[in-house]
Amino acid sequence: MNRLFRPYLTFLLMGSILTFSACKDDDEPGPEDEQEVITAVTISLTPTGKGQDTEATISTLTGTPVQNAPLTLRPGTEYTAVVTMTDESKNPVADMTAEIRNERDEHLLVYTFTPDAGSNATVSVNITDMDQNNRPVGLESTVTTGAGIGNGKLKVVLKHQPGGLKTGTNTTAGETDVDVSFNVIVTN
Amino acid sequence: MAMAQEQVHLDGDDPEQDCGLTLSGKVLDHDTREPLIGATIYIEELQRGTLSDEYGNYHFHHLCRASYTLKVTYIGYEEEHQSFRLSTSTVRNLSLHIDARQLKQVVITGGRLQEQAQATETLQGRELEETRGLSLGESLKKLTGVSSVQTGPTVSKPVIHGLFGNRVVIMNNGVRHESQQWGNEHAPEIDPLNAQQMRVIKGAAGVRYGSDAIGGIVLVEPNPLPDSAGIRGEVSLIGSTNNRMGTVAGMAEGKLRQLPLSWRLHTSVKKAGSAQAPRYNLNNTGFEEQNLAATLGYKRQRFGAELYYSFFHTKLGFLSSAHIGNLTDLANAIGREQPEETGSFTYTIARPYQDVTHHLLKAKAFYQTGEAGELQFTYGLQQNVRQEYDRHRNTGDRPQLDLDLQTHTTELVWEHKPFANISGSMGVSTIWQNNTYAANTRALLPYFINTTIGAFAEERWRKENLQLEAGIRYDNKSLDIKRWNRTEGVLRPSYTFHNFSGSFGALYDLGYHVTLGANVGYASRAPHAYELFANGLHNSAASFERGNPELVSENAVNTMATINYHSNLRLNGELSLYYNTINNYIYLQLAPDYALGIGGAYLQADYLQADARFWGADLSFDYALTSRLTLNNKTSLVYAKNRETDSYLPFITPGRTDNTLRYSFEDKTSSRLSDSYLALGGLYVGRQSRSDAQSDPVLAAPDAYFLLHAEAGTQLQFGKQQVELGIVGSNLLNTSYRDYQNRLRYFADEMGRMIMFRIKVPL
C-alpha cells in the first residue's frame, strides 16, 4: 500500500508548489521614466545692439515636433543665442542643458540654415562656447543675419560623440540626440 | 489451386521423397559483392548450420524436398532470413547488408532507423564536439536547414526553414525554454556545453510541446545520469584566436552504491574579448558567460524522480557604432567604409551591453503504471532577467531596459505501451508566466500574465514496413496585459486565444536502403505580447517598433516529404522538400513614412499580418570516395513570399551549401593516437536575390560569400589517461563579408579568421 501511495504523493507535492507560487499578481506598471529624454529645444536670441528679443521652442511631447512660434529676426543684425533643452515629461520640467554642459567634451551642436525657395534670407551661426579641449560646443553662439529678407529653416543637431569621436569639426560622427528645424522669418 | 495441392504434396510425408539434394552458393556483401568468409548459415527447420569458406562458399548436402528457412548471420551485418522451397539442387547466393548500428560512427546523416515521418536533424558526437566553444545558435548552424539570425558576432538565434524567434520552441532538458525570445537580438539562454545532443525537428510540430512551434523544435539534451556506481569527471579547455576566447568546463557525476541515487554537476565559464573583422576591430563585442547545472536522480524499476537546476548568466557587449540616433546617423553609418569607432582589442565590456540571467529549476518524476505504460510529470520554474544598458548621457549604472519574466510549466504525460501495433502518448500541460519591468525603465514590453492550458494525444501505428502517425493538440491561452498610458493610466486589455495543432505522417521503409517519409503538420501560434504592444525605439535599427493590438493567431500548414537513402557503402543521404503555408503570418515591416521626434527622423516598423508561403529543400549526403575519404554535402534552400501582395518577405535565409572533405586516419595499435581525422571544407552562402526596396528599404542585401573552414581531431593515449584534442578553423581566408541575416550588416563586417582549440580530459 505504502509503495503504491508514495509516487502519487510526490506528484501532489509538485502540484502544490505550482499553486502556491502562481498567485502573485498585485504589481502595477508605473509611469515610464526613461532617464534624460530631451523633449523640447528652445533657442533664445538677444540682439547685441538694440532691438527685440526673440525665442522659439520645438516640443515633441505630443508625438510629432511642434514649434510654438516662428523665430522672427531682423536683417543685418547680430544676436547672442542660447540653446536650452528640457524634459517636459517630468514634473517639474527637467533642465537637460546642464547635463550636456557637464559632458561638453562629448557633445557638439551643429547649425545649418537653409532658405526657402525664393527667399533671400541668410543666417550664419558662430559657436562661442568651448569645451575643456578648446573645441566648440554650441550651446552659446552668435547668430548673424544678412541683408536679404525671406523665410528659411534653421536646423539644430545635437551630436553625442563619446570615446574620442569629437574633433570639433566632424559633424557626422556619433549619435544624434536632437535633430530639429526651426522656422525662421527674416523681416524688417 | 494447383499450387496449393503441390504444396501439400511436397510438405507431406511423401514416400517418394528425394533426399539427395544440395543447396550451395556464396555469401556476399550486398554492396561490394565481396565474399564474406566465416558467415553462419543455419537451416532453422533442420537445426543444421555451416560456415562459409575462404571464398565465401557454403553448401548443405542430403536435403529433402521441402520448405526451408535460412538464417544468415555475420558480424557487422544484419541478420538475413530467407524462406524458400527446395525442389531440386540449387545454387543460392546470399547477400548481406551492413548493419547500420555498426556504421553509426561513420554515417554522419544519422541513424538508419528513422523514428518519425517529420524531418529531424541531430547534432551529436564529433560534429557536436567541433562546435564546442560556440553559442547554441552558432552550433546549430551545422545542421542542414538551420541557420541563424545574428546581431553582431555575439548574438545568434536559431532559424529553421526561414522561421525563428517565438516560432521555434526550444526544449532545454525537457522544459520549454521561456525567455524574451521575441527579440531578434536576444539569444537563447542555454549553455550548449552541457548538451550531449541537440536535435532539431523541422517544420510545424506543435502537437507535443505547444501549438506555437510553427517553425520547429530544438531539443537540447544533456547526457543521461550514470547508471553504474562510481564517480567520474571531465575537464575541457577551449581557446580561440580572433576574440581570444577562453572557456573552462568541468563535469563530475556519480552514482551511489547503496542507493539508486545518481548526480551530476556541470559548470562552464567563458570569456571573450572584442571580435576582429579582417580589417578592423569590432569595438565592444566581448562577452562573458557563467553556467552551472546540477542534477540529482533517483531511479527504481517502477518509479523515478529527477531534480535539475541550472543557472545561466551572460554579459555581452554590442558593437558601439551600431547604436545610432536617427536616420541621418544610419545613412552616415552605411556610407562609412568601417564603423566609426573601431578601437582596439579589449576584454572590457562597455555600454551598450546586455546582462541576462536565467534560472531553471526542474522536477520530474515517472511512474510505471503496471503493464499499461508510464506516467511522467514535469514541473519547471524559470526566471529570466534581461537588462539592457544603452549608451546615453548620464545614465549612471542603471539599465534602460529591465525585464523580469517568471514562468511555471507543468506537464503530465502518459506514454502507453504498444498494443495492436499502436504506441503513443497523451497528456496535459500548463504554462503560467508573469512579465514585469523594473520601475523607471523603458516600457518596451508591457506587464503581462500568460496562462496557457493544453492537451494533446499522439499515436503511432507500425506494421512491417509502414508507420502511420497522427497527433492533435489544443491550447487555450489567455493573455492579461497591464499597460501604462500617459493620459489614461493603467490599461488592462485582455485576450483569449484558442490554438489547435495537428499532424499526420507516414513512414514507409522501401527495404534496406530507402525510407520514404511524408508529413502534414498544422500549427497555430497566438501573437506574443510584444507583437501586440511593442512600443519603443530600437537604437541599432534607428527604428521605432510598434505593436498591433488587433493581431490574431497565425496558422501554418506545413507539408514535407523526405527520402532517406541509407546504409550504403558509398552514398548515403537525405533529401527533404517542404511547402509551408502560413496564414496571418506576423512580421515586422518597415513603414515607408518616417516618424519624427526630437532626435530627427526614425524609421517606423509595424507588426503586420499577411498570408505567406515558405518553401524549400534540404539536402545532405555523404559520399565515401575511399574507405578513409568522405565528401559531405549540406545544402538548404528557403523561399518565402507574401501571398497577398505577391512580394518578398524580409529577413529570409539565403540559400547555402557546405561541402567538406574528411580524411579519417587508420587506427594503428602501436600508435598513441586513435580516431584521428582531418577535414577541409567550404561554405557558400548565396546573395538573397529575393529582396527589393520594399522588403529591405534601408540597404540592399549583401553579396554572396564563400568561407573556407578546416577541422582536425584525435584521441591521445597517455598510459591509462585518454585525452581528446581538436582544432577548428573558420573563415580561414580571412574574407571580409556581411551576412543578410545579421542585423548589424549595416554597420560592420563579420568576424575574420578564427582558430579554436579544444582539449578534453576524462578523469
**Chain B nearest C-alpha distance from A169 (Å):** 15
Q: What's residue B1's pLDDT?
A: 36
| Span B118-140, pLDDT tens digits | 888 999 999 999 999 999 999 99
**Cβ distance of A176 and B600 shorter than 8 Å:** yes
- Rounded to a whole number of angstroms, the distance between the first and last alpha carbons of chain B is 71
**C-alpha angle A149/A155/A156, rounded to 5°?**
130
**Cβ distance of A163 and B320 shorter than 8 Å:** yes
Residue B6 phi, psi dihedral angles, 5° rounding? -60, -40
Instruction: Please check the confidence at residue B696 and state whether its pLDDT lies above 80.
Output: yes
d(CA B332, CA B336): 6
Domain locations along chain B: 2-97, 102-218, 232-762
Sequence-ordered list of residues with C-beta below 8 angstroms from that of B419, at least 6 positions apart, any chain: none
3-state SS class at B39: coil
Q: What's residue B523's pLDDT?
A: 94
Task: Tell me what the mean pLDDT of segment B754-762 comes to.
Answer: 96
B7: confidence class by pLDDT, cuts 50, 70, 90: very low
| Span A59-103, pLDDT tens digits | 987 778 899 999 999 999 999 999 999 988 777 888 989 989 988
Residue span of the structural domain in which A47 resides: 40-186
**Residues of A in Cβ contact (< 8 Å) with B443:** 29, 32
Q: Which of B393, B408, B429 to mutate to test the interface with A (most CBs of A within 10 A)?
A: B393
- Across chain B, mean pLDDT equals 89
Task: Tell me what the mean pLDDT of segment B421-441 comes to.
Answer: 91
What ipTM was reported for this prediction?
Answer: 0.76
- The CATH class for the domain spanning B2-97 reads mainly beta
**Cβ distance of A6 and B596 shorter than 8 Å:** no
Question: Is residue A55 included in any domain, yes or no?
Answer: yes
**Cβ distance of A180 and B441 shorter than 8 Å:** no
Task: Tell me what the mean pLDDT of segment B192-214 comes to.
Answer: 92
d(CA B206, CA B500): 8
Question: Is residue A21 included in any domain, yes or no?
Answer: no
**Chain A nearest C-alpha distance from B328 (Å):** 8
Task: Tell me what the mean pLDDT of segment B240-266 comes to.
Answer: 95
| Span B533-555, pLDDT tens digits | 988 776 666 678 889 999 999 99
Instruction: Please check the confidence at residue B344 and state whether its pLDDT lies above 80.
Output: yes
| Span A26-69, pLDDT tens digits | 577 876 655 567 889 999 999 998 889 999 999 987 778 899 99
Which CATH number is B102-218 given?
2.170.130.10
**Cβ distance of A29 and B436 shorter than 8 Å:** yes
Question: Is residue A26 included in any domain, yes or no?
Answer: no
Architecture, CATH, for domain B232-762: Beta Barrel (2.40)
User: Which cell numbers hold the place of A75?
Assistant: 536683417
Residue A26 forms contact with B (CB below 8 Å)? no
Q: What's residue B687's pLDDT?
A: 97
Q: What's residue A40's pLDDT?
A: 92
Q: What's residue B45's pLDDT?
A: 86
Residue A50 forms contact with B (CB below 8 Å)? no
The reply to whether B2-97 and B102-218 are identical in fold is no
Question: Is residue A23 included in any domain, yes or no?
Answer: no
Q: SS in 3 state form for chain A?
A: CHHHHHHHHHHHHHHHHHHHHCCCCCCCCCCCCCCCCCCEEEEEEEECCCCCCEEEEEECCCCCCEECCCEEECCCCEEEEEEEEEECCCCCCEECHHHHHHCHHHEEEEEEEEECCCCCCCEEEEECCECCCCCECCCEEEEEECCCCEEEEEEEEEEECCCCCCCCCCCCCCEEEEEEEEEEEECC
Task: Tell me what the mean pLDDT of segment B461-481 comes to.
Answer: 92
Instruction: Please check the confidence at residue B306 and state whether its pLDDT lies above 80.
Output: yes
Q: What's residue A6's pLDDT?
A: 54
Question: Is residue A24 included in any domain, yes or no?
Answer: no
Residues 91-120 of chain A with CB under 8 A from chain B are 99-100, 102-103, 106
Of B302, B329, B596, the CB nearest to A64: B596
Residue A41 forms contact with B (CB below 8 Å)? yes
In terms of phi and psi (left: phi > 0; alpha: psi -120 to 50; beta: otherwise), the region of B174 is left
3-state SS class at B319: coil
**Residues of B in Cβ contact (< 8 Å) with A157:** 328, 600
Question: Is residue A32 included in any domain, yes or no?
Answer: no
Higher pLDDT, A15 or B577: B577
When mean pLDDT is compared across A71-85, B17-31, B747-761, the lowest value belongs to: B17-31
B56: confidence class by pLDDT, cuts 50, 70, 90: confident
d(CA B724, CA B489): 61
| Span B145-164, pLDDT tens digits | 999 999 888 899 999 999 99
Instruction: Report, in angstroms and rounded to the nearest whole number, the Rg of chain B calculated over CA atoms.
Output: 29
Q: Which neighbouring-strand residues pair with B232?
A: B253
Q: What's residue B301's pLDDT?
A: 85
Question: Is residue A19 included in any domain, yes or no?
Answer: no
d(CA B136, CA B219): 11
B106: confidence class by pLDDT, cuts 50, 70, 90: very low
Instruction: State the CB neighbour count (10 A cutoff) for residue B100.
Output: 19
When mean pLDDT is compared across B250-254, B350-354, B470-474, the lowest value belongs to: B350-354
Of B325, B367, B379, the CB nearest to A175: B325
Q: What's residue B503's pLDDT?
A: 94
Sequence-ordered list of residues with C-beta below 8 angstroms from that of B255, at least 6 positions apart, any chain: B225, B226, B227, B228, B229, B230, B261, B262, B263
B661: confidence class by pLDDT, cuts 50, 70, 90: very high
Q: What's residue B444's pLDDT?
A: 85
Instruction: Please check the confidence at residue B466 and state whether its pLDDT lies above 50.
Output: yes
User: Which cell numbers hold the place of B701?
Assistant: 542585401
User: Which cell numbers hold the place of B10?
Assistant: 511436397
Domain count, chain A: 1
Highest mean pLDDT among A6-10, B562-566, B668-672: B562-566
Q: What's residue A13's pLDDT?
A: 52
Sequence-ordered list of residues with C-beta below 8 angstroms from that of B306, at least 6 positions apart, any chain: B225, B295, B296, B297, B298, B362, B363, B364, B365
Helix (H) or strand (E) holding A97: helix A97-102
**Cβ distance of A65 and B396 shorter than 8 Å:** no
